[in-house]
Amino acid sequence: MCIILNSNEDLLFSGSSDQSIKVWKVDFNQNKLAFLYSLDKHSNIVVSLSLNQSEKQLVSCAYGQNQIIIWERREKDKFEFKYFVKQTIKNYGLKVKFIKENQFILIIGDIDKLYVFELKQGVYQEKQDKIIQLITNNEICDQFSFPIIYNKERNLILVRHKKYIYIIREIKDGNYKIEDSLNCDTYVIYGNITNNGQYLVYWDDKNQAYSTYELLNK
């Protein structure tokens, strides 16, 4: 359902419909992938994963209410369960992404908002004053496909929610603002950006084709 690679490109994390997160050792030189261990605390399908900047913490998101988990790197670089993140939102999570060392953003189910969580007194807590309102659409559901993308160098966050792709940037003190949005007129969208954050490429089921956009700094 979801997959991420660490910065050294030697550890791979995969979230699955069997409710587990698998950790793998990667060797690109020898073209080998070896299973290391499994993280098993979720009670539903794991749909999103993200490492913080130091890669000491992993946040995971699964279907169902209160299914956001923080995992911490311990001895021998092995990740272990730390705690479930408390939520006031009575809905299921779909996409999660660390933006800073101690801050991640979350897309919740069919709610047209983006939530910010920050570390306070040792636990991640919702920041009600930093919620971002997205375009309201109660007629369709969101999908977990097309994960949140963050490019630190360009202060660029790309969020696909329902029919829209949003360009979001930090303005100050961990607050964010929607800079632009693109209506794809369908919620079946899969995409990514280039490593330098200059181009967006996505496929959608309405056009049955790939579209490419250049992302400009205004």
Say whether pLDDT at 173 is over 80.
Answer: no
Answer yes or no: are the C-beta atoms of 202 and 146 closer than 8 Å.
yes
pLDDT on residue 140 = 81
Determine the length of the chain.
218
Number of domains present in the structure of the chain:
1
- Band (pLDDT 50/70/90 cuts) for residue 176 is very high
pTM, rounded to two decimals: 0.92
C-beta of residue 117 within 8 angstroms of C-beta of residue 85: yes
CB 65 within 8 A of CB 92: yes
**How far is the C-alpha of 201 from the C-alpha of 114, rounded, in Å?**
23
162 pLDDT tier (thresholds 50, 70, 90): very high
Residue 77 corresponds to which tokens in the numbers above?
Answer: 């670089």
Q: Is residue 209's pLDDT more than 90?
A: yes
pLDDT in the model for residue 95: 94
Range of the domain at 131: 2-214
CATH number of residue 51's parent domain: 2.130.10.10
Tell me how far apart the alpha carbons of residues 161 and 38 are, in angstroms, rounded to a whole number: 30
